């Protein structure tokens, strides 16, 4: 995620220094960031001049002091382990300017806990970029218990200026905003398959050709207003009692993981991947996103 974030900010005119723990990881990060910029150039989403100048604004280092010595913003996207994030934030706070803002790309850990180690937790927030970061517009800015309004405003200004679509999550709750919605859908999808209501393939087909097709232009709560909240209430009054309300991971998911069927990387998960190409699926996803971004740019 780090290289994608770096590419977005460099394209927006900011000097970005990627920090890697080793020279090899730093080089991989720089290559990935430059590759993201080049993809956007090839697809006509950024101009050649913009792409060329952004490459000059990208640098890398294995020296944390050099990475954050003059930074206005510090973005972290390391492993999802609370103690590791706390350790890094604590180290970087001692090296960064007093006015620098610290942002974590965590998709689930509370920024309030990550920022406990900071002398000034008011300048820390979550900025959850959606994957792939250089393509997906959404960034969730999550306020921690002590995050200042100024920190949120500065992050939103920076990211909106980089062409991102920002939303502010006002409470530091597990799952933030997007993942709470997504995992509620996951829970019901697993339940539907587990109960024999529909197949894995038909669940995905229903999402892709039903609600998923209209969501980019027609929000969920917009839909509720459009059909009328009285109609929404009538449906919810009988349907909510029938929906899955498990407080733990579904048995179907637990069983697959217990026997080592983890998905694409092991060859079997919910799908049999012996005849499916994960790279082709990923390419299809990225192609779809790129085409939608082009459509948006033409409006």
Asked whether the predicted pLDDT for residue 299 surpasses 90, the reply is no
Strands of the chain (E only): list them: 16-19, 58-61, 73-76, 101-104, 124-129, 138-143, 165-169
Q: At which residue do the structure tokens 């300048």 appear?
A: 123
- Asked if residue 115 has pLDDT above 90, the reply is yes
Specify the CATH number of the domain 2-169.
3.40.50.720
Name the band, by pLDDT with cuts 50, 70 and 90, for residue 216. Answer: confident
**So what's the pLDDT on residue 82?**
96
Is residue 234 over pLDDT 90?
yes
**Of the listed ranges 215-219, 236-240, 276-280, the one predicted with least confidence:** 215-219
What confidence tens digit (pLDDT) does each residue in 37-96 have?
999 999 999 999 999 999 899 999 999 999 999 999 999 999 999 999 999 999 999 999
pLDDT given for residue 296 in this prediction: 87
Closest CA to 279 of 268, 289, 287, 269: 287
What residue spans define the domains of the chain? 2-169, 177-245, 260-299
Distinct helix (H) and strand (E) counts, the chain = 14, 7
Asked whether 88 and 78 are in contact (CB, 8 A), the reply is yes
Query: So what's the architecture of 177-245 in CATH?
Result: Orthogonal Bundle (1.10)
Question: In this prediction, what percent of the chain has a pLDDT beyond 70?
Answer: 100
pLDDT at 287: 96
pLDDT, one tens digit per residue, over 121-154 is 999 999 999 999 999 999 999 999 999 999 999 9
Tokens read off for 158: 């920076």
**pLDDT of res. 123:** 97
**How is 9-41 classified by DSSP, letter by letter?**
HHHTT--EEEE-SSHHHHHHHHHHHHHHHHHHH
């Amino acid at each position: 995620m780090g290289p994608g974030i770096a590419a977005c900010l460099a394209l927006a005119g900011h000097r970005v220094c990627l920090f890697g723990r080793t020279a090899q990881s730093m080089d991989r990060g720089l290559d990935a960031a430059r590759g993201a910029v080049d993809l956007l150039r090839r697809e006509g989403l950024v101009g050649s001049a913009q792409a060329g100048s952004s490459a000059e604004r990208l640098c890398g280092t294995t020296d944390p002091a050099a990475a954050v010595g003059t930074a206005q913003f510090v973005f972290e996207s390391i492993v999802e382990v609370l103690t590791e994030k706390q350790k890094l934030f604590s180290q970087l706070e001692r090296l960064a300017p007093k006015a620098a803002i610290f942002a974590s790309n965590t998709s689930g850990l509370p920024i309030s806990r990550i920022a406990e180690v900071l002398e000034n937790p008011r300048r820390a927030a979550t900025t959850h970029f959606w994957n792939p970061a250089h393509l997906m517009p959404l960034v969730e800015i999550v306020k921690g218990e002590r995050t200042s309004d100024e920190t949120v405003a500065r992050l939103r200004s920076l990211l909106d200026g980089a062409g991102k679509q920002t939303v502010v999550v006002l409470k530091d709750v597990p799952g933030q905003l997007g993942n709470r919605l997504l995992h509620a859908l996951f829970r019901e999808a697993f339940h539907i398959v587990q109960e024999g209501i529909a197949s894995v393939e038909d669940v995905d087909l229903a999402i892709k050709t039903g609600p998923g097709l209209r969501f980019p232009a027609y929000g969920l709560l917009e839909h509720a207003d459009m059909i009328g909240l009285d109609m929404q209430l009538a449906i919810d009054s009988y349907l909510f009692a029938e929906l899955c309300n498990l407080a733990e991971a579904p048995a179907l998911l637990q069983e697959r993981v217990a026997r080592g069927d983890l998905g694409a990387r092991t060859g079997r998960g919910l799908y049999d991947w012996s005849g499916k190409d994960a790279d082709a699926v990923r390419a299809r996803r990225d192609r779809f996103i790129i085409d939608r971004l082009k459509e948006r740019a033409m409006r």
